[in-house]
Amino acid sequence: MSSGSPTAYLVWSILACLFFCFLIFHLWEYDRFQCLKWSESGRQPGAFKRFMSYTYIATLTLLVIFSVAYTFIKFKEGRFIITPEGTIYPKPIELYTTSHKKWILPLLFLFSAAWACELITHWEELTFWLFILHQGPKMRLWFDSWEFRVWLLGTVVAGLGMPLTTLISRRQLDMCQAWIFLVGSSASTATTLLFLYVLARFPEFIRRVKADGGEPKIVLRLVMFYQLNFGRVLFRFLFTIPLFILALDGVQGSHSINENPHAWDVLLNLLLDFLIVLGGIGCFVSSFMTLLIFFPRSLTQELGYTTALIPSSIVNKQPMTAS
């Protein structure tokens, strides 16, 4: 599955680098990188939150390295080869030069590790929101809940499953990428489908918080989280489904999309690049929304703005009537 032109992966590289620059800017403005320290200082204390921040940033860092290096190799190797019979078909990874081919497997391991971190992050969000939504009159502790145990199990499966997928299929590099796409997109799509339950329950949760006398800023933040999660779910489908289509085509026999041998069949070649670019857009837009959820900035708080308190004597003062 030597899918995708160098230009398609160039789009991934540009998106990854631009978003990583925005990540640095956002975290600096958020709390001057204090949120990345393991200590209890900062606006979001707690070892668990630190761990989730690290997996999220690790995902983006590994994606930048993978996309830039993979794009460089793609441009150096080219996309198509021409047989003596005049047939044109995508250049398999097995035909890459030795100097470039030796880097493909390490890059695929980086990609699988990035996807594993991404799965861990979104699985944590899903289970934590389920924990919040299932809170009853008796308050439960996160680390004692069944949702935390489910997250822990999913973390182990994702953290081992994605690299193992690369390890098992490493002997055929073209198929290795297809299996990474298949396993990763299947798990991500399943997680996103489960998140639809959270979206369905969220409006009721907001109404309950409001009815219980929740502070306006908390209710407003929950509304913002709901809207961001709604948009993020849409873009996560935009990320996973195109790659799932490519993966299914890659692991089965005919490869009608990934390895079209006809030079005149331009539409399928455009469809291949379109699916890869679409997946990249969905990936980084949904990651942008995750950043706003994980590290929500408050300009009111950052600028030190406080509403002036009006003395009750002024509020309750009646206008004087003429005698």
- Condensed to tens digits (0 to 9), the pLDDT of residues 273-309 reads 888 999 999 999 999 999 988 888 776 666 666 655 4
Residue 292 lies in a domain: yes
**Hey, what are 93's tokens?**
């990874």
Alpha helices for the chain (secondary structure H):
6-31, 47-77, 98-133, 146-168, 173-211, 216-251, 266-294, 299-302, 312-315
Split at pLDDT 50, 70, 90, the class of 322 is very low
The H or E element that residue 90 is part of is strand 88-90
Task: Render pLDDT for 153-188 as a digit per residue (tens, 0 to 9).
Answer: 999 999 999 999 999 998 888 888 889 999 999 999
Q: Is residue 262 part of a domain?
A: yes
Q: How confident is the model at residue 221 (pLDDT cuts 50, 70, 90)?
A: confident
> How far, in Å, CA of 25 to CA of 220, rounded?
25
- Residue 73, pLDDT > 80, answer yes
Q: Which residue has the tokens 């761990």?
A: 51
Cβ atoms 70, 5 nearer than 8 A: no
- Cβ 116 vs Cβ 158: under 8 Å: yes
Looking at residue 151, what is its pLDDT?
Answer: 92
Characterize 218-228 residue by residue with b for buried, 16 or more Cβ atoms within 10 angstroms of its Cβ, and e for exposed.
eeeebeebbeb
pLDDT by residue (tens digit) across 49-65? 788 889 999 999 999 99
- 311 within a domain of the structure (yes/no): yes
In a domain, 302, yes or no: yes
Instruction: Determine the pLDDT at residue 304.
Output: 66
d(CA 179, CA 166): 8
Residue 86's pLDDT band (cuts 50, 70, 90)? low
| Mean pLDDT rounded to a whole number for the chain | 82
- Residue 322 in domain: no
Rg of the chain over CA atoms, in angstroms? 24
Average pLDDT over residues 8-18: 93
CA count, 13 A, side-chain hemisphere, 84:
0
Report the range out of 85-89, 216-220, 295-299 with the highest average pLDDT: 216-220
pLDDT in the model for residue 294: 87
SS3 142: helix
Q: What was the pLDDT predicted at 216?
A: 84
Each residue of 35-48: pLDDT tens digit?
787 765 444 446 77
Note whether residue 320 is domain-resident. Answer: no
Q: In total, how many domains does the chain have? A: 1
Q: Which pLDDT does position 320 carry in this prediction? A: 40
Which pair of structure tokens corresponds to residue 222?
Answer: 């929950």
Pairs from 210-213 (Cβ < 8 Å, separation ≥ 24): none
Other C-beta atoms lying within 10 Å of the C-beta of residue 269 = 18
**Residue pair 56/294 in contact by the 8 Å Cβ criterion:** yes
The boundaries of the domain holding residue 305 are: 6-315
CATH of the domain at 294: 1.20.1070
Angle at CA of residue 126, ends 122 and 132, nearest 5°:
140
Q: In this structure, what token pair is assigned to residue 315?
A: 């509020």
Burial class (CB in 10 A: 0-12, 13-18, 19+), 82: exposed
- Take residue 198 and report the two structure tokens written for it: 């959270």
| Residue 290 located in a structural domain | yes
DSSP state of 44: S
Separation between Cα atoms, residue 267 and residue 279, nearest integer Å:
18
Q: Is residue 323 a part of any domain in this protein?
A: no
